[in-house]
Amino acid sequence: MLKLDALNQLKQLKSDIKASRDLQFGRVKGTGQKFGFVSLESGRDVFLPPDEMLKVLPGDRIEVEIKKDDKNKTFAKVERLIESNNKLFFGKYVSKGAAHFAEADFDGTSRWIFIPPNKRGKAKVGDLLQCKLVQHPIKNGKPQAHILDNLGNEKDAGIEWTYSLKKHGIKEAWSEKSEQDLKTLTEDLVAKLCAEREDFSQHAFFTIDGERTTDMDDALCIEENSDGWKLLVAIADPEALVKHAPVLEKEALQRGASLYAPNKVVSMLPEEVSANLASLVEGKTRLAKVFTIQVSKDGDVALEKISLGSVTSAQKLSYTQASDDALDGVNENVRPQVIALKGLAEALLEKRKSTANVQPSRSDFFIELNADQKIEAIHPRTSVAAHAWVEECMLAVNRCAAQYFAENAKSALYISHSGVRADRLESLSTVLNEKLPELKEFSLANLDGFVSIFRALQADDEREYLRQLMLRQLDRTGFSLEKAPHFALGFDAYTTISSPLRKANDYLLHRLLTSLIESNVGDSLTTKDLESIEEKQDAIRKSVFDIEQSLKCEYMTRQSGEFDAEVVRVFTTGMQVRVLDNGIEGVIATRDIEGKCSFNQDLMQLKTSKGEFTLAQKLKVSLKRVDWSKKQIQFSLA
C-alpha cells in the first residue's frame, strides 16, 4: 500500500497537471457537417474536429481542453459531459443493411442513432418518430435510442404539421379545465364589464383587416382638426375579460403567441375569445384600451390619454376596400375617416423618413396547398396602400405605449434592437469609412449615428450593396425590461401593445397598463416573464419554419429548369440565394463553383476564377438536389 504522504503527493501531481491544461466549459453547436464547434462561456467558438463531434450532441454542455494541432490551429478535445438536453428527440426511421437507426433532427445537424431490434416495434423506413436517448455517445461515439411514438410516415398528408408541432411542444387542444373556464366567458359578462368603462359608442370606429381575418386587434377613429388629426386607436382588451378565467389565462400565456402556418392556425386564445368575445367585431360592443393621440400636420405624435373603454366598430373594411379610391360600400360615417387616414399616414411616414429608419418593403409570398396538403403554387402577396396606413398608426400607438411605460412603470417589456452585431461592428465601420468617407463623423455604435448612416445608404441606389452589407450584420431583436433603443426602426424606445389577441408580451403589457391606469402602480414584470415568452415564441418560429421548409423542399423536387435568383447571404462555404418568383431560399456550395474560391468576410464576397459573388447580385440557378436530413435546398449556377 502507498503511504499517506505518497498518496497526497500523487493527488497534488494530478491537480498540478490538470491546472496546467486549458480546460473550459461550453455548449456544442452543430454545423450540418461532421465537425462542429463549442461555444465557450468566455464567448469564443472553438472548432470541434469530427472525431470529437462524434462523442457529443448539439446543445450538450461539456468540458473541453483547448489544444493546438500540428499546424498550430486551435481545436477542442472533449474532456467530459456536464449535461445533455437531448434525452428526448425527434427524427426519421432509416436503415442501412440490417442496422436500423433514427436520423435525429437536431438543430444544426442530423445524426444517425442506433435502435436495437427489440425496440423498433412496427416502425417502417420513412416513419417520423419521437425517441428516447438511452445511451449517450460520450463514451464510444455510438448512441442508442428507443422509439416512444410513431407520428406517421413522411408521405402522409399533413405530416409536416403533426411532426413539427409535436417536436416543438405546441399544443392545439385546450385542457379540460380551460374548456370549463371558457364557459364562464359570455356575452353577458362582456356587456357587464363594458358598462363599467368609458363609453366611446359616439365614435364611429372602423377596422381594416384581411377579408378572412376574425381576430381583430385594432380599430381606428380619425377626426381632422386645425393642428392635424385626432387619432383614436382602440386596441382589443382580452386581458380584462380572460382574467375572469384564470386557468384559461395561464394556459394561454404558456402558449406565448398564435402560430400561423400554411392552412394551420394554433391560436394563443380560444377562438370564441379571439374571434368573437374579445375581437373588435363589426356592430358589437367590445372591451378596448383607447389611445387618444394628436398627430400634427408635420407628423409629430403626442399621446393625450389612455382610456379603459368600450367601443363599437361601425364597419370592417378589407385592405383592398379601404385602398380603393371609390370606397364602394363604405359606411357614410367611415368614408371621410378613410380619406383622412391617407393624409395622416403620409404625414407619419414622412416624419419617420426624416428622423428614423424606414425599411423598404420586401416581396412576400403565400402558399396555396392541394388536396394532399402539399404546395400547389406559391403566389406573390399583393400589398395595397391601406397596409402601410394601418402600419403607421400601429407604429405610432406602440411608440406612445413605450414612452408611457418608460415614464410610469418600474419595468415593462420593451422591444429592443442593438444595431450591428458587436463582433462585426469594427470591421463594418472600417468598410463604410473606406467606401463613404463623408460618413466618418457618424458612429454605428450609437442610435443617432446608426440612423444617419442607414438613411444615407438608402438615399442612393448605387449604395444598395453597402446597405445589404449592413443589413446582413444586424443583431436580432429581443425583449428588455428596461427602456432601450430600437436601432432598426430608429426609435429611442419601442414596444408592441397592439396584438394582445395573438402575442403574450402584448397581453402582459395590457395587464400592466390596466394596473397603472386603475391604481398608478404597475405589476412588476420579471426576467422570468421575458425568458418564458422568448422561449415559446422561438419554438413557434422554428415550428413554422420547419413546416414551410418541408413543404418547399417537396415542392422543389417537382420543379425543373432555371430560376432567376438573388444572393441574400455569403459565407465561407458558399452563398444563400432567393428565387425571385416564389421567395424560396437555398444554398450554392463553393465546391459546386468552378475554380478556387476565397471569402472576404468584411465585404461578404466570394472571389473565384469566374468572378465575384456579392450581396443582392442577380443569378440564374437550377436545382441540384434536396438534402432532406437538413431540410435544405441546394442549387447550382445555371
Q: What is the pLDDT of residue 43?
A: 83
Query: Does any domain span residue 2?
Result: no
Q: Classify residue 189 as exposed, middle or buried by CB count within 10 Å of its CB (0-12, 13-18, 19+).
A: middle
Q: Report how far residue 357's alpha carbon sits from residue 451's, in angstroms, rounded to the nearest whole number.
A: 6
Q: How many angstroms separate the Cα of 50 from the Cα of each of 13, 30, 35, 53, 56?
A: 32, 11, 4, 5, 10
Given a cut of 60, whether residue 14 has pLDDT beyond it is: no
Going by C-alpha positions, the residue among 501, 475, 315, 500 that lies closest to residue 413 is 500
427 vs 362, more confident: 427
Q: What is the pLDDT of residue 71?
A: 87
Given a cut of 60, whether residue 1 has pLDDT beyond it is: no
> What's the domain count of the chain?
4
Confidence of residue 624 (pLDDT cuts 50, 70, 90): very high
Same domain, 120 and 255: no
CATH number at residue 149: 2.40.50
Q: Report how far residue 527's alpha carbon sits from residue 74's, in angstroms, rounded to the nearest whole number.
A: 36
Q: What is the pLDDT of residue 521?
A: 72
Q: What is the pLDDT of residue 536?
A: 96
Q: Hey, which bits of 497-603 come out as E strands? A: 562-571, 574-579, 585-589, 598-600
Same domain, 110 and 251: no
Domain boundary among 83, 107, 132: 83
Helix (H, G, I), strand (E, B) or coil at 561: coil
pLDDT digits (tens, 9 = 90+) for 547-564: 999 999 999 999 999 999
Query: Does any domain span residue 167?
Result: no
Confidence of residue 19 (pLDDT cuts 50, 70, 90): low
Average pLDDT, integer, range 562-574:
94
Q: What is the pLDDT of residue 317?
A: 97
And the C-alpha cell for 296? 400634427
Interstrand relation of 205-209 and 23-30 (parallel, antiparallel or unpaired): unpaired
Q: Report how far residue 530's alpha carbon sits from residue 513's, in angstroms, rounded to the nearest whole number.
A: 17
Q: What is the pLDDT of residue 109?
A: 75
Q: What is the pLDDT of residue 582?
A: 96
pTM for this one?
A: 0.91
Query: Does any domain span residue 374?
Result: yes
Mean residue pLDDT of the chain comes to: 93
Q: What is the pLDDT of residue 8?
A: 66
Cβ–Cβ under 8 Å, residues 608 and 619: no
Per mean pLDDT, which range of 252-266, 515-529, 534-548, 551-565 is the poorest?
A: 515-529
Same domain, 262 and 190: yes
Query: Does any domain span residue 468?
Result: no
Q: What is the pLDDT of residue 99?
A: 93
And the C-alpha cell for 379? 403566389
pLDDT digits (tens, 9 = 90+) for 300-351: 999 999 999 999 999 999 999 999 999 999 999 999 999 999 999 999 999 9
**Strand pairing partners for 152?**
128
Q: Report how far residue 470's alpha carbon sits from residue 421's, in angstroms, rounded to the nearest whole number.
A: 10
Average pLDDT, integer, range 474-483:
95
Share of the chain above pLDDT 70, in %: 96
Same domain, 272 and 127: no
Query: Does any domain span residue 460?
Result: no
Per mean pLDDT, which range of 19-33, 92-106, 268-282, 484-498 is the poorest?
A: 19-33
Same domain, 203 and 249: yes
Query: Does any domain span residue 26?
Result: yes
Q: How far apart are the first and last CA of the chain?
A: 75
User: For residue 36, what is the enclosing H or E element?
Assistant: strand 36-40
pLDDT digits (tens, 9 = 90+) for 144-180: 999 999 999 999 999 999 999 999 999 999 999 999 9
Share of the chain above pLDDT 90, in %: 84
And the C-alpha cell for 41? 462561456
Helix (H, G, I), strand (E, B) or coil at 342: helix
Given a cut of 90, whether residue 520 has pLDDT beyond it is: no
Given a cut of 90, whether residue 595 has pLDDT beyond it is: no
519 vs 58, more confident: 58
Same domain, 569 and 604: yes
Domain boundary among 54, 83, 112: 83
Query: Does any domain span residue 589?
Result: yes
Given a cut of 60, whether residue 400 has pLDDT beyond it is: yes
**Strand pairing partners for 91?**
104, 129
Same domain, 565 and 604: yes
Average pLDDT, integer, range 473-502:
96
**Strand pairing partners for 36?**
30, 48
Average pLDDT, integer, range 250-273:
96
Average pLDDT, integer, range 339-365:
93
Same domain, 210 and 278: yes
What percent of the residues of the chain are helix, what percent strand, and what percent coil, each to the nearest 5? 30, 35, 35
pLDDT digits (tens, 9 = 90+) for 60-80: 999 999 999 888 999 999 999
Confidence of residue 13 (pLDDT cuts 50, 70, 90): low
Q: What is the pLDDT of residue 351?
A: 96
Q: What is the pLDDT of residue 355?
A: 94
Cβ–Cβ under 8 Å, residues 89 and 149: no
Same domain, 390 and 315: yes
Q: What is the pLDDT of residue 460?
A: 82
Cβ–Cβ under 8 Å, residues 21 and 66: no
Same domain, 100 and 65: no
Q: Hey, which bits of 178-327 come out as E strands? A: 198-199, 205-209, 218-225, 228-236, 259-261, 264-266, 285-296, 301-318
Domain that residue 138 falls in? 88-156
And the C-alpha cell for 129? 418518430
Query: Does any domain span residue 566?
Result: yes
Domain boundary among 66, 83, 100: 83
CATH number at residue 65: 2.40.50.140
Same domain, 283 and 405: yes
Same domain, 589 and 528: no
